[in-house]
């Protein structure tokens, strides 16, 4: 008897429901901007990190006939990564869609979407929080790649002493001198955006446009970046108090969104994701509750691959 493939061994994984679940991504989450998703085939391994091989000047690159050739390895295995499995079940009481129920399966695709959307939103927000916490953790950055603003240096101070352009240019130069690449993205919290777009130095740049308030695309152009992305996600604690996931900080980074096969790029981070996940298992029916349940699982972990490719501006606004 032929040996099972890995996909066949995933008993209960429902490809139709999985396709539905994977298509239900929220549009307002931004964590993948700093930590692009990379699929891996196992739950543990080594983070592909980056050194300074591109910038070293090797001696004796010239070779005589028959002599050994210099070798260089670009990208190396750094710290361990361990994916974490997360699971939740969406539920669909039969009363909600009883008139549309399929005689064969007990639920419609619309019903599956309704149940999986709630489960997907919860797991997506969980990942967004994990990505934000990692990116905003000052312990993840060297002293040369972080700064803390306070008082009149914060971008919420319009007195004329704060200068976002100078702070951002310092961050860009710190990344360039360590990686040979300028950052291509800046991620900011919603409260930072609310203050930054009305800062006098920014408003002055708006005069030639004839518009009053800059868009994120305008900010990216002003700061010499490919994109400026703001995070609107909020989270509630057990007491029902809401707070911003992306806080009062700004993160500049050089990050690529292509595959891990391009190992020569000093990408700031990745979200390692188990291949085939997130995945939805076969729905099952609870007789007592008269409810269909849709198990939904993710296996993932955000990691920083090149901390020199990122720069943290803490407390950018008050």
pLDDT reading at 37 higher than 80: yes
pLDDT reading at 107 higher than 70: no
For the ranges 27-36, 61-70, 198-207, the maximum mean pLDDT occurs at: 198-207
Using an 8 Å Cβ cutoff, are 126 and 297 in contact?
no
Question: For residue 137, what are its two tokens?
Answer: 């953790």
**Domain extent listing, the chain:** 13-50+82-314
Q: What DSSP letter does each residue of the chain carry, written as one string? A: -PPPPHHHHSTTB-HHHHHHHHT---SS--HHHHS-EEEESSSEEEEEE--SGGG---S-----TTPPPP----SEEEEEEE-EEEEEEEEEEHHHHGGG--TTTSS-HHHHHHHHHHHHHHHHHHHHHHHHHHHT-GGGS-GGGEEE--GGGSTT--SS---HHHHHHHHHHHHHHHHSS---EEEEEHHHHHHHTT-HHHHHHHGGGT-SS--HHHHHHHHT-SEEEEE--EEE-TT--EEESSTT-EEEE----S-TT-TTS--SEEEEEETT-SEEBPPEEETTTTEEEEEEEEEEEEEES-GGGEEEEETS--
Using an 8 Å Cβ cutoff, are 259 and 154 in contact?
no
* Range 229-243 average pLDDT: 90
CATH number of 13-50+82-314: 3.90.1690.10
pLDDT reading at 60 higher than 70: no
pLDDT for the residue 40: 86
Q: Read off the pLDDT band of 152 (50, 70, 90).
A: very high
Count of beta carbons in the 10 Å neighbourhood of residue 192: 27
| Average pLDDT along the chain | 82
Stronger pLDDT, 109 or 279, i.e. the higher one: 279
pLDDT for the residue 103: 54
Stronger pLDDT, 132 or 270, i.e. the higher one: 132
pLDDT reading at 176 higher than 80: yes
pTM of the model: 0.80
* Range 179-197 average pLDDT: 95
């Amino acid at each position: 008897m032929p040996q099972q493939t890995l996909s066949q061994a995933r008993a209960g994984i429902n490809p139709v429901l999985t396709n539905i679940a994977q298509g239900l991504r929220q549009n307002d989450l931004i964590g993948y901007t700093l930590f692009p998703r990379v699929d891996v085939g196992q739950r543990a391994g080594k983070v592909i990190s980056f050194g300074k091989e591109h910038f070293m000047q090797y001696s004796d690159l010239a070779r005589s006939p028959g002599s050994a050739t210099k070798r260089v390895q670009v990208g190396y295995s750094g710290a361990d990564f361990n994916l974490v499995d997360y699971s939740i079940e969406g539920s669909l009481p039969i009363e909600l869609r009883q008139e549309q129920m399929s005689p064969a399966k007990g639920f419609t695709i619309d019903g599956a979407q309704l149940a999986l959307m709630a489960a997907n939103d919860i797991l997506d927000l969980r990942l967004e929080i994990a990505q934000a916490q990692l990116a905003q953790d000052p312990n993840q950055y060297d002293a040369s790649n972080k700064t803390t603003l306070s008082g009149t240096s914060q971008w919420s101070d319009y007195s004329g002493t704060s200068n976002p352009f100078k702070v951002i240019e310092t961050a860009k130069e710190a990344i360039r001198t360590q990686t040979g690449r300028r950052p291509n993205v800046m991620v900011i919290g919603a409260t930072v955006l609310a203050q930054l777009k009305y800062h006098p130095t920014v408003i002055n740049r708006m005069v030639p446009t004839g518009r009053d308030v800059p868009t994120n695309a305008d900010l990216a152009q002003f700061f010499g970046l490919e994109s400026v992305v703001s995070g609107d996600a909020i989270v509630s604690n057990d007491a029902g108090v809401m707070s911003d996931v992306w806080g009062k900080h700004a993160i500049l980074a050089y990050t690529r969104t292509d595959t891990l096969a391009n190992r020569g790029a000093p990408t700031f981070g990745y979200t390692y994701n188990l291949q085939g996940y997130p995945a939805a298992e076969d729905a099952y029916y609870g007789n007592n509750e008269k409810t269909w349940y849709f198990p939904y699982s993710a296996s993932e972990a955000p990691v920083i691959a090149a901390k020199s490719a990122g720069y943290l501006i803490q407390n950018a606004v008050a």
